[in-house]
Amino acid sequence: MADKIRVAVAGAAGRMGRAAVRAVAAAPDMTLAAALGRERGVGQDAGTVAGTAPLGVTLTAELADILDAKPDVLIEFSPGAAAAEHARAAIPAGVRPVIGATGIGQQDLDGLAALCGAKRVGAVVAPNFAVGAVLMIEFARQAARHFPNVEIIELHHDRKRDAPSGTALRTAAVVAAARGSAPAPAVKEEETITGARGGRAEGIRVHSVRLPGLAAHQEVIFGGPGQTLVIRHDSVSEESFMPGLMLAARKVRSLTGLVYGLEKLLEL
């Protein structure tokens, strides 16, 4: 039997990190090697913090402890700046990062890609690990060739800090590339309340909603003469992201560079 994949989880006390710890613990081909957090849960068993059985791995606040555990893969759900910092330390040590954190800028992505290339170490960065969300973006790409008029509404829980979401920004980029030039506006718009028409990403209107009771949801609304097309995805719990995350954790070991987007691993 092949050795199990040794996985470390950063941001292990957060909502996504706790779900990742549970998913790793349940995967027959993986073992939790280390867990990184900030204040909450530090010094406790990572399994207990995640709401599952104790795993014999203590949640630490020190990145050095993670690297000392010699994981094969680092699942990264720390905030954007910290995620990039952790990845920059992991790659030279031969640890392959799988990053789901939002807020990583293009400069950081370019730097990580160069580092992966120099060290011949794989990495995966994805704004969304839900397979359904990736398919939503792919379907929107196809629709954009026929419906150039489009707006995006993304809805999340009230604890999400960034707006718009990384998924909305990715959707806008994909749709804009597929549709080509944006259609001319039907009228000259006037906002009586600043921001009422949302922000713009790649020339596409994006609207963000933050409310308790929501999880992660997005609609891509296309309009044409006499018809509309709505493509919607709903994640109702963190478990929706785990199949895609586990796929990335398995496939990243065979990569020798940085891959952006789960769709590359799904071969869409």
Residue 115 sits in the same domain as residue 219: no
pLDDT at 170: 92
Q: What is the pLDDT of residues 104-138, one digit of tens each?
A: 888 999 999 999 999 999 999 998 999 999 999 99
Residue in 4, 119, 157, 160 annotated catalytic? 160
The tally of domains found in the chain comes to: 2
Catalytic residue among 156, 207, 217, 233: 156
Q: Please indicate, yes or no, whether residues 58 and 143 belong to a single structural domain of this protein.
A: no
User: Do 54 and 39 fall into the same domain?
Assistant: yes
pLDDT tens figures, 212-242: 999 999 999 999 999 999 999 999 999 999 9
| Three-class SS state of 182 | coil
Is residue 149 pLDDT above 60, yes or no?
yes
Domain span holding position 65: 5-125+239-266
* pLDDT, average across residues 1-30: 94
Pairwise CA distance, residues 28 & 15, whole Å: 22
Please say if 160 is a catalytic residue. yes
67's tokens: 């690297």
162 with 73, same domain?
A: no
Same domain, 110 and 139: no
Task: Assign residue 256 the CATH number of its domain.
Answer: 3.40.50.720
Is the predicted pLDDT of residue 211 greater than 80, yes or no?
A: yes
Q: Are residues 51 and 102 in the same domain?
A: yes
For the purposes of burial, counting CB atoms within 10 Å of the CB of 22, is it exposed (0-12), middle (13-18) or buried (19 or more)?
buried
Q: Is 233 a catalytic residue?
A: no
- Do 50 and 120 share a domain, yes or no? yes
d(CA 141, CA 38): 39
Instruction: Write down the pLDDT at residue 267.
Output: 82
Question: Same domain, yes or no, for 144 and 160?
Answer: yes
Higher pLDDT, 185 or 21: 21
> Are 205 and 103 part of one and the same domain?
no
Same domain as 189, residue 119 = no
